[in-house]
Amino acid sequence: MKTTAAEIYTAFAPLGLVKEMVGPDQPVHRIAPIEDCGPGDLVFVDKPKFAILVAQRRPAVVVTSFKLKTLFADRGDMTLLLTANVNLAQALIKQRYAGRQFDAAGWPQIHRSAVVHETAMLAATAVVEPRAVIGRNVRLGERTRIMAGAVVEHDAQVGSDTVVHPNAVIGYACLVGSESVIGAGAVIGSEGYGFAQDQQGKSHPIPQTGNVVLGDRVRVGANCCIDRAAYRTTRIGAGTKLDNLCHIAHNVEIGEDCLLTSMFCVAGSTTIGNRVMASGQTGVLDHLKICDNAVLLHRAGVTADIDQPGAYAGLPVQPLKEYLRNTAVFRMLADLRQRLLALERRDGPPDQ
């Protein structure tokens, strides 16, 4: 990495991300963690408790908030880049200057061990790494990378600037948007879970002949499974991010810009709105509707529709404040029972 404080300011000031530069221009050689920073480094500081450590280690550039500006007022050897959103600045600046360099792997554009069907249409800048398989009529967009061992089955399409990590599978006829990330071992378009039982209780599969459509900027974590629809489309909207080990069942529709963390599991034909957030191990039953801007916490178990924005928790889910009150009472149940038994022994049991 080789840049300067002024170059970073010039790059991000027009976007409104970095609003002010305080101090001299100086070179930046590394983006570093606060605990390990030193001269020539750039660090991000969003909490007052880090100010003393940063002052001791003396990095070249500190990206911080206007609120914390005064903590560095007497440090003339450090340049401040001031922003209203330190975390967003960290995301965008690190993406630009210190993100993963996939070209560092050193593979040729189309590795000789890759299997690419003669009908596949690959953009001139697409990359296919060792032992990847690209099926019939597949289309890959500009600068998209299919990493080692990944499979893109026939008639699938992947947009531009998307990375499909090792051993992931893009199932037949599925569509993946641009600027997306498919984690290692993830399966997009696995067979939906649909069976019919005969009189002897034997299960017979109902062919799942739909597909999966992922919008732009979708992130699918490692080892996620997204099932194809029975007839139409399982859909995940633009900007939604799935953590590792999530399961999305057939015919589910998830809106835009959702944040769904590890082990999120949703059953078939449920519709989830935009900007929904879910903490780890959240479960959602089938054929439900969850509105925009819902937040699901504490291993939430959703068994009925949610039609009002807000935070929910528990099984079955309750509004968060109600859940916290009930949890507090639950912890005292044993004590309350003992007190009730003592009252009954003193006054006798209640009249029948």
Instruction: Give the pLDDT of residue 156.
Output: 98
For the chain, where are the alpha helices, taking DSSP H only?
5-12, 51-57, 86-98, 320-331, 333-347
Catalytic residue among 165, 247, 250, 298: 250
Task: Calculate mean pLDDT across residues 7-31.
Answer: 95
At 351, the pLDDT band (50, 70, 90 cuts) reads low
Contact 248, 268 (CB under 8 A): no
pLDDT of 158 strictly over 80: yes
Rg (CA), the chain: 26
pLDDT of 174 strictly over 70: yes
Task: Calculate mean pLDDT across residues 311-330.
Answer: 85
At 3, the pLDDT band (50, 70, 90 cuts) reads very high
Instruction: Give the pLDDT of residue 343.
Output: 81
pLDDT of 326 strictly over 80: no
Nearest Cα neighbor of 272 from 253, 298, 244, 293 is 253
In this prediction, what percent of the chain has a pLDDT beyond 70?
98
User: What residues are paired with 4 via a beta bridge?
Assistant: 27
The predicted-structure confidence for 64-123, as pLDDT tens digits, reads as follows 999 999 998 777 789 999 999 999 999 999 999 999 999 999 999 999 999 999 999 999
At 33, the pLDDT band (50, 70, 90 cuts) reads very high
* Domains along the sequence of the chain with CATH: 3-99 (3.40.1390.10), 108-325 (2.160.10.10)
Instruction: Give the pLDDT of residue 61.
Output: 96
287 catalytic residue (yes or no): no
At 329, the pLDDT band (50, 70, 90 cuts) reads confident
Distance set, CA 347 to CA 163, 173, 249, 336, 337 (Å): 72, 73, 56, 16, 15
For the ranges 3-12, 22-31, 68-77, 206-215, the lowest mean pLDDT is seen at 68-77
Long-range contacts of 199-202 (CB under 8 A, 24+ apart): none
Instruction: Give the pLDDT of residue 135.
Output: 98
For the ranges 4-8, 73-77, 141-145, 178-182, the lowest mean pLDDT is seen at 73-77
Q: CA-to-CA distance for 334 and 23, rounded, in angstroms? A: 62
Task: Calculate mean pLDDT across residues 270-299.
Answer: 97
Distance set, CA 245 to CA 33, 147, 229, 241, 299 (Å): 28, 20, 19, 12, 15
The overall average pLDDT reported for the chain is 94
The predicted-structure confidence for 202-234, as pLDDT tens digits, reads as follows 999 999 999 999 999 999 999 999 999 999 999
Q: CA-to-CA distance for 119 and 246, rounded, in angstroms? A: 33
pLDDT of 350 strictly over 70: no
Nearest Cα neighbor of 266 from 288, 289, 283, 290 is 283
